[in-house]
């Protein structure tokens, strides 16, 4: 993501070539259950424009591919938790970012919230409530 024209409030813009080579998508997400919403076929659904959902990135499963690789974390359990399977078709794999964002019609991404109550800052877990209240 880049923000070449300093669009206020935007996390950035995904240039078409980057979007093509290593796509990211925003999928419908149930914030109460903290999991993607799946259709009757068990597949995830993309959000509409300006609809908040989880940002995901495709994991390229070709062994020689450079773009789209996901080597994961040192903790295997944490790695498995971040990999979504059978997202848009059976057998595909996508990396779950843990962030809720939305795409505007002009291609910019806007941050909405972090999934769960905390995020990491300077190696520490910080509750979103701490940030909101300034404590």
Span 111-135, pLDDT tens digits: 998 887 666 666 666 666 666 666 6
- CATH number, domain of 31, equals 2.30.38.10
Distance CA 130, CA 115 (A): 15
Number of domains in the chain: 1
Whether 2 maps to a domain, the answer reads no
Whether 3 maps to a domain, the answer reads no
Q: Which domain holds residue 49?
A: 12-133
> Per the structure block, which two tokens stand in for 49?
């424009």
Nearest to 88 by CA among 23, 1, 30: 23
Per-residue pLDDT band at 23 (split at 50, 70, 90): confident
Q: Is the dihedral of CA 91, 82, 24, 88 positive or negative?
A: positive
Whether 83 maps to a domain, the answer reads yes
| Contact of 28 with 44, CB cutoff 8 Å | yes
Model pTM? 0.78
Whether 6 maps to a domain, the answer reads no
- For position 98, what pLDDT does the model report? 92
Whether 79 maps to a domain, the answer reads yes
Phi and psi, residue 67, nearest 5°: -75, 145
Rg (CA), the chain: 16
| Contact of 22 with 98, CB cutoff 8 Å | no
Inform me whether the pLDDT recorded for 42 exceeds 60: yes
Whether 80 maps to a domain, the answer reads yes
| Contact of 109 with 19, CB cutoff 8 Å | no
Lowest mean pLDDT segment, chosen from 31-35, 46-50, 70-74: 70-74
Whether 40 maps to a domain, the answer reads yes
| Contact of 11 with 3, CB cutoff 8 Å | yes
Whether 109 maps to a domain, the answer reads yes
Distance CA 60, CA 50 (A): 27
pLDDT digits (tens, 9 = 90+) for 62-115: 655 555 556 666 777 877 888 999 999 999 999 999 999 999 988 899 999 888
Distance CA 18, CA 41 (A): 29
């Amino acid at each position: 993501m880049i923000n070449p024209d300093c669009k206020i409030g935007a996390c950035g813009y995904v240039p078409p070539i980057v979007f093509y080579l290593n796509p990211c998508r925003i999928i419908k997400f149930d914030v109460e259950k903290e999991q993607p919403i799946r259709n009757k076929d068990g597949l995830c659904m993309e959000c509409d424009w300006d609809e908040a959902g989880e940002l995901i990135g495709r994991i390229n499963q070709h062994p020689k591919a450079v773009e789209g690789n996901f080597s994961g974390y040192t903790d295997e359990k944490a790695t498995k938790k971040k990999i979504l399977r059978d997202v848009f078709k059976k057998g595909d794999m996508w990396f779950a970012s843990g962030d809720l964002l939305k795409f505007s019609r002009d291609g910019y991404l806007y941050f909405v919230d972090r999934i769960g109550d905390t995020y990491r800052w300077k190696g520490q877990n910080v509750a979103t409530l701490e940030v909101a209240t300034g404590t």
